[in-house]
C-alpha cells in the first residue's frame, strides 16, 4: 500500500470510528422504540382480550446519563394510554441519597395503567453491592408515593390479572417460594422477576405462564450478527426477547429504557407493549 492510499484508508477509518462513537453515545441511547408483542394468557377474562400491558424496565435514574430522556419517554408512553403498566426493576443507579430526589422528579411523570400498575425491584435498587436494605426501603417508599405498588414476593389482582412480583435474585429479599405461593392456576397469572437467571433455578414449582424480566439491557452493545460481548447473567443465551424456558413458562426479557452508562449500539432503548390474548 502506497503512502497516499494508506493516509486515505486511515482517514476513512478514523472518521468512521468517530461517527460510530458519536452515534453510540448521543443518538441510539435516546432513540426510543415501542415494540409490540402478542401475549397469550391462560384463563384471561373475556373483557381483557385486546387490552395492552406495558412493560418498562431498568430506568436507572442517576448521574450516569441525562435522565430527562426517561421523563420524555414516559410522556410519549402516556399518550398510548396502556391498560396495565409493570416496571421490572432497577429504578436507580445508586450512589447516594441524591438518587431519591432524582427518582422523585422522574416519577412525577410515571406511566400508569388505567386498570392498574405494579413493580418489582432490581439489584441496583439495593444500593452498594446490593446489600443496603435501607436503600431498597427508601426506593420502595418513593415508588409507592407515586401510586405504584411494589411487589416484594407478593401479588396483586389488577382488573382480572394476578400479578406476582418476585424480589431480586441478587438482592437481600429474594424469596421465590413465597412469591410462587401466590400462583393460582385458575387465574390469569403474570410474574415479574428482574433477573432472568432465576428461570434456571429450581424454584418454580407448578408455575405456568409468563415471566417478565429486564436486567440484561440486551447487552447495550451488540456487534451485527454476533452476540453481545457483555451480559450480566450466567445464562448467556438470555439476551432480550422471548424464550421458552420449559415447564409451561415463557420468559420475556426487556432490553431496558435507561442505561448503566450512556452508550448503546444495535440495542435501542425499548418500552414493550403486550397485547393480551386468551391462550
Q: Do strands 270-278 and 84-88 pair parallel, antiparallel, or not at all (unpaired)? A: unpaired
Would you state the pLDDT for residue 4?
Answer: 56
Overall average pLDDT of the 137-163 stretch: 98
Instruction: State the alpha helices, DSSP H only, in 146-236.
Output: 176-180
The predicted structure's pLDDT at residue 27: 95
Q: How much is the mean pLDDT over the chain?
A: 93
Judged against a pLDDT cut of 50, whether residue 6 lies above it is answered with: no
This prediction's pTM: 0.93
CATH class label, 31-278: alpha beta
Percent of the chain surpassing pLDDT 90: 90
Distance (Å, whole) CA 49 – CA 46: 6
CA distance 248 to 94: 36
Amino acid at each position: 500500500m502506497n503512502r497516499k492510499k494508506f493516509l486515505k484508508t486511515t482517514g476513512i477509518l478514523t472518521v468512521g470510528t468517530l461517527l460510530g462513537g458519536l452515534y453510540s453515545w448521543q443518538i441510539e441511547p435516546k432513540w426510543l422504540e415501542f415494540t409490540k408483542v402478542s401475549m397469550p394468557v391462560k384463563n384471561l377474562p373475556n373483557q381483557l382480550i385486546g387490552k395492552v400491558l406495558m412493560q418498562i424496565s431498568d430506568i436507572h435514574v442517576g448521574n450516569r446519563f441525562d435522565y430527562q430522556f426517561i421523563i420524555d419517554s414516559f410522556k410519549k408512553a402516556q399518550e398510548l394510554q396502556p391498560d396495565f403498566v409493570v416496571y421490572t426493576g432497577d429504578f436507580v443507579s445508586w450512589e447516594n441519597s441524591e438518587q431519591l430526589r432524582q427518582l422523585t422528579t422522574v416519577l412525577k411523570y410515571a406511566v400508569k395503567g388505567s386498570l392498574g400498575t405494579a413493580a418489582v425491584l432490581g439489584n441496583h435498587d439495593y444500593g452498594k453491592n446490593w446489600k443496603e436494605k435501607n436503600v431498597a426501603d427508601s426506593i420502595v417508599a418513593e415508588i409507592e408515593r407515586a401510586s405504584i405498588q411494589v411487589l416484594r414476593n407478593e401479588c396483586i389482582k389488577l382488573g382480572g390479572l394476578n400479578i406476582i412480583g418476585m424480589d431480586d435474585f441478587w438482592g437481600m429479599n429474594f424469596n421465590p417460594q413465597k412469591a410462587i405461593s401466590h400462583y393460582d392456576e385458575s387465574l390469569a397469572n403474570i410474574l415479574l422477576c428482574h433477573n432472568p437467571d432465576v428461570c434456571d433455578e429450581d424454584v418454580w414449582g407448578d408455575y405456568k405462564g409468563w415471566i417478565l424480566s429486564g436486567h440484561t439491557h440486551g447487552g447495550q452493545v451488540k456487534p451485527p450478527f454476533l452476540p453481545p460481548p457483555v451480559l450480566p447473567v450466567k445464562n448467556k443465551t438470555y439476551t432480550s426477547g422471548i424464550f421458552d424456558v420449559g415447564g409451561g413458562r415463557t420468559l420475556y426479557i426487556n432490553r431496558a429504557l435507561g442505561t448503566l452508562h450512556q452508550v448503546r449500539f444495535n440495542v435501542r432503548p425499548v418500552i414493550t407493549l403486550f397485547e393480551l390474548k386468551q391462550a
